[in-house]
Amino acid sequence: MKILVLLKQTFDTEAKISIEGGKISRSGVSMIINAYDEFAVEEALKIKESLGGEVTVISTGDDGVQDALRQALAMGADKAVLINPGTDDVDEFTTATILAKAVSGMEYDLILAGWRAVDDGSAQVAGRVAEILGIPIAKLAAKIDVEAGKATATCEIEGGTEVIEIPLPAIITAQKGLNEPRYPSMKGIMQAKKKPMDKKGLGDLGLDAGAVAAKVKVLSVSLPAARAAGKVFDGEPADTAAAVVKALREEAKVI
């Protein structure tokens, strides 16, 4: 079973966001594997452990993204591929076009990815890649079973779950609850340093800046207005509860 994992490096979810020169500042921010992609890496490793095969992690971005890929290698992935788009002006179309092109030159049975990234939260790239490659997709999986030629995924739907069967090759996106990602072992970290990291540019994939140019243009970036603290009631529950319910009706007018 050859499994590919689409992985994004993101800001740590605890990171404080600041703006510099009209853009989100990256200085002083610690970077992590997108939380949902980490579930995808873990699931790929578990499938490999039960069925055998190979796990390749793929990402786009500059050299800094190697850290996230190395971490996935330290968890147990076999190979990494990093494509540098050569620009920061990327959108979901850009990323999906690059990933799909890189993937189309590889052998695979299954592609896994997080259902969204915790930074821009778009939830688009995996779907777009499926569309470009012409392969089926199942999204928001909390359980995945793989057997010969097909995968069965238990996926979140509104108000419940559904079990979807899709033929392989296919893409499945990971939802929280799929598994508990492992921590890399010391041995894994040492081995990761020697595992292949294939770095490419757009030209190596037969792409150019025009072919991947972003369709979405960012006009402005700002920080949200801070929410002002309101009234805090301290005292006997009978008094405080009554006061808040009264305020909800008379001041806030929400009840």
Partner 1 sequence: MAKGIFVFAEVKDGKVKKVTYELLCAARKAANELGEEVCAVMAGKGVSGLAAALGEYGADKVFVAESDALEKFTTDAFTNVIGSILQEQQPSAFLLGFSIRGRDLAAQLAQRLGTGAASDCINIEVENGQLVFTRPIYAGKAIIKVTIPEARPAIATIRPNVLPIDAPAAGKTAEVVAVSANVGDVRQVIKDIVLQVSSRPELTEADIIVSGGRGMKGPENFPILETLADVVGAAVGASRAAVDAGWVPQSIQVGQTGKTVSPTLYIACGISGAIQHLAGMGSSKCIVAVNKDPEANIFKVADFGIVGDLFNVVPILTAEFKKILA
Site for partner 1 in 115-174 (CB under 8 A): 118-128, 130-132, 136-140, 142, 152, 156-167, 170
Residues 6+ apart with CB under 8 A from 55: 3, 4, 5, 41, 44, 45, 48, 76, 77, 78, 79
Alpha carbon distance 249, 255 (integer Å): 5
Q: Helix or strand or coil: residue 251?
A: coil
Minimum distance between the CB of residue 147 and partner 1, rounded to whole angstroms?
13
> Candidates 49-57, 185-193, 197-205, 212-220 — which segment interacts with partner 1 by CB under 8 A?
212-220
209 forms part of the interface with partner 1 (CB under 8 A)? no
CB of 129 to partner 1, least distance (A): 8
Q: In the complex with partner 1, which residue's Cβ is closer, 28 or 230?
A: 230
**Which two three-digit tokens encode residue 89?**
């002006």
* DSSP 8-state secondary structure symbol assigned to residue 227: P
3-state SS, residue 225 = coil
- Residues 220-249 touching partner 1, rule: CB under 8 A, are 220-224, 227, 229-235, 237-238, 240-242, 244-249
Q: Does 32 bind partner 1 (CB under 8 A)?
A: no
Indicate the residue among 187 and 227 with the shorter CB distance to partner 1.
227
What tokens does 209 get?
């800046």
Q: Under the criterion CB under 8 A, does residue 101 sit at the interface with partner 1?
A: no
